[in-house]
Amino acid sequence: VAMVGDRKSGRLLGAQLTGTDQVAHRVNAAAVALLAGMRVDEFSQSDLAYAPPFGPTWDPLLVAANQLIKRLDT
């Protein structure tokens, strides 16, 4: 997962994802965030569904958003 945001406004500008069949759900979440004009910090607080036996507790999108927040703040 790679994300790009605007340093001045904090808006999410784009997301790039690669993966298998599960990536479509993450692309959908990123697309909604982009359409809504969300800031990266808003998106990082999203409550995305997960099932512990089948996936990580921290969704890769949220991990990428938190990393982007740190990059935008520097």
| Residue boundaries of the structural domains of the chain | 2-73
pLDDT, tens only, 18-45: 998 879 989 999 999 999 999 999 999 9
Phi-psi sector, 49: left (phi>0), alpha (psi -120 to 50), beta = beta
Domain 2-73 classified CATH 3.40.50.300?
Answer: no
Summarize pLDDT for 40-69 with one digit per residue, the tens.
999 999 998 888 887 778 899 999 999 999
**Cα–Cα distance for residue pair 12/72, rounded to 1 Å:** 11
Task: Say how far apart CA 69 and CA 58 lie, in whole Å.
Answer: 16
Global confidence as pTM: 0.87
